Amino acid sequence: MRGMIIIDKELCKGCGYCVDACPPGVIAIEENFNQKGFFPASPEHFEKCTGCGMCAEMCPEIAIEVYRE
């Protein structure tokens, strides 16, 4: 199964829960901050995403949408 995630960088507070929860290691914390001054998470390895949804489950800000093929 292939998946895709979209992270709303303005909602993300950079807590890193999604990074820890992602089994294939798709997500990383960016080096640039958003408008609120947080370093948001960002999908970096799109090809590894399985669409498992663990990242969205862990996100306290509900900033992640998961799509599956």
pLDDT at 1: 67
What integer is the mean pLDDT of 26-42?
97
Residue boundaries of the structural domains of the chain: 3-68
pLDDT at 45: 93
CATH of domain 3-68: 3.30.70.20
What integer is the mean pLDDT of 54-62?
97
Contact 62, 17 (CB under 8 A): no
pLDDT at 57: 97
pLDDT at 69: 86
Rounded Cα gap, residues 50 and 35, in angstroms: 30
pLDDT at 60 over 90: yes
4 - beta bridge partners?
67
What integer is the mean pLDDT of 6-10?
97
